[in-house]
Amino acid sequence: MTTIGVLGLQGAFREHVRSVEATGAKGVVVKKKEQLDEIDGLIIPGGESTTMRRLIDKYDFLEPIRQFGKSGKPIFGTCAGLILLASEIDGSYDVHLGVMDIKVRRNAFGRQRDSFEASLNIEGVADDFNAVFIRAPYVEDVGEDAKVLARYDGHIVAAQQGHYLACSFHPELTDDHRITAHFVKMVEESKKSLAL
């Protein structure tokens, strides 16, 4: 059975667990770094990125999550999670995990009153995907190895780089589990190749 951990320090982690379970995989909430050994893939959920970073530091998650990624296990960041994965934020290299070669702008669409829902085509994942953007970031630019999966209004809102996946919106807030299913498939494939 494929087990997907959802980083449960703050934010909408239970919704992600529900979404993972809807795809048929097992979802667990990860609150302690030791739990990283028990999972095949990790989701970093939406929430407040500054709050999550503080708790990541406090509980020594930063390096263990980087190592988790380096070992070839997939990581999926949504909204705040995307910010945590990025290698450049708001023009500064003062980054969090920095494992994905993407430049991110925080609160890029504006304040809460500018938050919105829109239909997206996510390349190779889903057409007409109902995406919920909440004080969302977008990706200004991606490195050579990263692939753009979706744009909204010209801005990059989903990208993949090998076994790293990131999106600006909140797939866990709807009943559309297609992007979660895409991630679960990435994890299943990595599990097979890591077992070889």
Partner 1 sequence: MSQTGTDRVKRGMAEMQKGGVIMDVVNAEQAKIAEEAGAVAVMALERVPADIRAAGGVARMADPSITEEVMNAVSIPVMAKARIGHITEARVLEAMGVDYIDESEVLTPADEIYHIKKDEYTVPFVCGCRNIGEAARRIREGASMLRTKGEPGTGNIVEAVRHMRQINAEIRQLQNLSEDEVMVFARDHAAPFDLLMEIREEGRLPVVNFAAGGIATPADAALMMELGADGVFVGSGIFKSKNPAKFARAIVEATTHYDDYKLIGELSKDLGTAMKGMEMSTLTGDQRMQERSE
Positions marked active-site: 79, 170, 172
Q: Specify the residue for token string 């059975």.
A: 1
90: left (phi over 0), alpha (psi -120 to 50) or beta: left
Between residue 20 and residue 39, which ones bind partner 1 under the rule CB under 8 A? Answer: 31
Pull the structure tokens for residue 163: 């076994």
x-or-dash string of contact with partner 1, 80-109, rule CB under 8 A: x-------------------------xx--
7 touches 53 (CB < 8 A): no
AA letter at 9: L
Is 114 a binding residue for partner 1 by CB under 8 A? The answer is yes
Complex with partner 1: residue 103 or 135, whichever CB lies closer:
135
**Axis-axis angle for helices 49-58, 62-70 (nearest 10):** 90
Closest CA to 98 of 54, 36, 143: 143
Nearer to partner 1, 144 or 154 (CB): 154
* Range 138-157, binding partner 1 (CB under 8 A): 152
Binding site for partner 1 (CB under 8 A): 8-15, 31, 46-48, 50-51, 54-55, 58, 79-80, 106-107, 110-119, 132-135, 152, 170, 173-174
